[in-house]
Amino acid sequence: MHPFASYVLRNYYKATGWNEDNLFTNLTRSSDAILDFNVPKGLHLSISKSPNALFKTTYSMNAMPSLNGSVGYIFTSCDLNVKNSGDVRFKDMVERFRVYDQPRRPEGKGEEWLAGERVDTRDYLMYGRLYIPTGRLDALYSTRLSANLQGIVAAISDPPSPLSAQANVSNLMLSLQHDVGKWCTEYTYSAEDSMWGIKALHNFGRIAGSGNAADSSQTPTRVGLKRIDEEDAVEGGLRGRLSAGAEIYLSAKEKSAGVSTGIRFSTIPEAKTPSTGGSTSIIIPPQPPTTITALFNPMLGHLSGAYSARVSPDLALSSRFDFNVYSYESEWTMGAEYWLRRDNDPDSELSSPAVESSKKRIHGVVKARASTNNDVAILWEGRMRNMLISLGVIADFSSQSRVKPIRAMGMELAYFSSDDSVS
C-alpha cells in the first residue's frame, strides 16, 4: 500500500480502537521496521489531501525508471484527523521500532440513541487506487462487524481485456479477524489459488484492564516466611510478556499446505508509578525496550531469530539470523534506526537542560542495514518545510559488482494537508 494510505489505515485502526499488534502477521513488526525498510527506487512524488474528516484523496507519480502514476480515494465512516505533512508528529509517519503494552479486549463503539432511535453505524473504511497507464485497481474494504470482529476484503484487479485474459493478476482476499485480547485469530481466504488460512496468536500472562492492579500492588509489601525450597527472585533480567502463535495454510487448487509457528518476548513499556496505598514500593529500574522473536516453518525448514532493542532514547538496533535446516543456507542481517533531533529555538524559555533535551523536536531518522547475502542499504527520512522526504541508496559491495557498487537509489517526496477546521 502507498505510505499515505497505510498511514490513514493505521489512524483508522487507532480511532476505532483496533489493536494491530495482536495479529500473528505482525509478530515480527518491530524487527521488520528496522531491518526490512523500503528504499525508494527512482523518483516518487505524492500529494494527498483531506478535504474533510471523512474523505481523502491521494495522487502519486513515479518519474523514474518509467513514468507512471496513480489516483487513490479513501472514505472512512469515522472522523480521522490526519493533520498536515508540515506539523504531523514525525514518528507517526515512519514505520519504527516500538513495543506495545499488554493487549486489551477491544471495546465497541457503544450504542448511540437519538430521539428513541439507534443511530450508531458500523465503522468502515473504503479505499481504491487506480494506476494510470496500466488501469490496475487496488481496493480495500474494512469494516468492524462487532467489538471483537473485523472483516477485510482486499482485491487487486487488472482491467478485463480479451488479450491478457491469461496473465491477469487479479485476486480477491477475504479476512476475518477475531480479537479478545488474550488471543487473536484470523481466518483468510484467497481466491486466486483457493487458499484458506488460519492464524492464531495467544498472549501469556495478564491482559490489560482485567482489574488486577490492586493485586500487583500487594506483592511488594508481602513480607513473610519463605518455603524451604523457595528462591529469591534473581535481580536483573527483563520484565516483559510472552506471545506465541501459529498459522496454517491449505490450498484447495494446488493441493498443498503450509504451517509456521512463532514466539515473541516483548518488554512492557515503562509503567507509570503505581499510586499504591502500601508503605513500601519497589523501585523499578528502567529497562531498554526489547523484542525477541523466533519463527519456525517446518515445511520449508526455515528458522529465524531476531533481537531488537532501543538502547538509547534515539537509537534502536536489531539483528536477525535466518537459517534453513534443509539447505543449510543462512543469512545474518543487522540494522539500526537513529532519530535526529534539532536544537530548540534560541528564544525559548526553558531553563533546565533536562527539559530542553526532551523538548528537542525530531526532524529526521536515519535507517541502515547490512546483510551477509544482500546489500547495504541506507535511508534518510526527514521533513523540509511542509514536505516529507526520503532519500535512500542500496549498495552491493560483493566482488562481482566491484565496478558499480551502487545498485539503486531513489528519492520520495510526500505532501499532504487537511482542510477540516473542526478540531
Partner 1 sequence: MPSEDTKERIAKVVDVTRTFLHYAWIPMIIYVGFTRSNPQPSLIKCVAISIFSEYDFTNYYTQD
**Which residues sit at the interface with partner 1, rule CB under 8 A?**
47-49, 51-52, 54-55, 57, 59, 71, 73-75, 126-128, 130, 137, 139, 155, 157, 159-160, 170, 419, 421
Give the cell for residue 382.
Answer: 526527514
Bridge partners, residue 141, by sequence: 126, 153
How far is it, in rounded angstroms, from Cα 419 to Cα 51? 5
Least Å distance, CB 53 to partner 1, is: 8
- Taking the C-alpha atoms of residue 239 and residue 205, their distance in angstroms, rounded to an integer, is 12
54 touches 74 (CB < 8 A) = no
| Nearer CB in complex with partner 1: 130/370 | 130
- How far apart CA 322 and CA 296 sit, in angstroms, is 10
Is 64 strand, coil or helix?
strand
| Residue nearer to partner 1 on the CB measure, 331 or 420 | 420
CA diameter of the chain: 82
Dig out the grid coordinates for 202 from the structure.
495467544
Q: Please, what is the minimum distance in Å from the beta carbon of residue 51 to partner 1?
A: 5
Measured from the CB atom, the residue of 57 and 185 that comes closer to partner 1 is 57
Q: Cβ 139 to partner 1, closest distance in Å?
A: 5
Whichever of 144 and 199 has its CB closer to partner 1, that residue is: 144
Separation CA 125–CA 112 (nearest Å): 20
List alpha helices for 298-382, DSSP H: 353-359
Cβ atoms within 10 Å of 66's Cβ, excluding its own: 8
* 167 or 225: CB nearest partner 1: 167
Residue closer to partner 1 (CB basis): 233 or 422: 422
* In the complex, least distance from residue 81 CB atom to partner 1, rounded to whole angstroms: 14
CB of 153 to partner 1, least distance (A): 11
Nearest distance in Å: CB 74, partner 1: 8
66 or 421, CB closer to partner 1?
421
Report residue 343 as a C-alpha cell. Answer: 536544537
Which residues have C-beta within 8 Å of that of residue 243, sequence separation ≥ 6? 27, 201, 202, 203, 204, 263, 264, 266
Min CB(376)–partner 1 separation in Å = 37
Nearest to partner 1 of 195, 365 (CB atom)? 195
Encode burial over 295-326: b for 16+ CB neighbours within 10 A, e otherwise.
Answer: bbbeeeebbbbbbbbbeeeeebbbbbbbeeee
Question: In this structure, are strands 183-190 and 256-267 parallel, antiparallel, or unpaired?
Answer: unpaired
Q: Shortest distance, CB of residue 57 to partner 1, whole angstroms?
A: 5
Q: Does residue 17 contact residue 385 with C-beta atoms inside 8 Å?
A: no
Tell the smallest beta-carbon distance from residue 250 to partner 1 (Å). Answer: 21
- Nearer to partner 1 by Cβ, of 71 and 282: the residue is 71
| DSSP percent split of the chain into helix, strand, coil, nearest 5 | 10, 45, 45
Query: Residues 325, 337: contact at Cβ < 8 Å?
Result: no
> Dihedral angle at the C-alpha atoms of 358, 284, 26, 103, nearest 10 degrees?
-110
* In the complex, minimum distance from the CB of residue 126 to partner 1, in angstroms, rounded to a whole number: 5
DSSP structural state of residue 119: -
Nearest approach in angstroms of CB 341 to partner 1 is: 32
How many angstroms separate the CA atoms of 18 and 144, rounded? 9
Between 19 and 70, CB nearer to partner 1: 70
* Smaller CB separation from partner 1, 59 or 338: 59
C-alpha cell at 7: 498511514
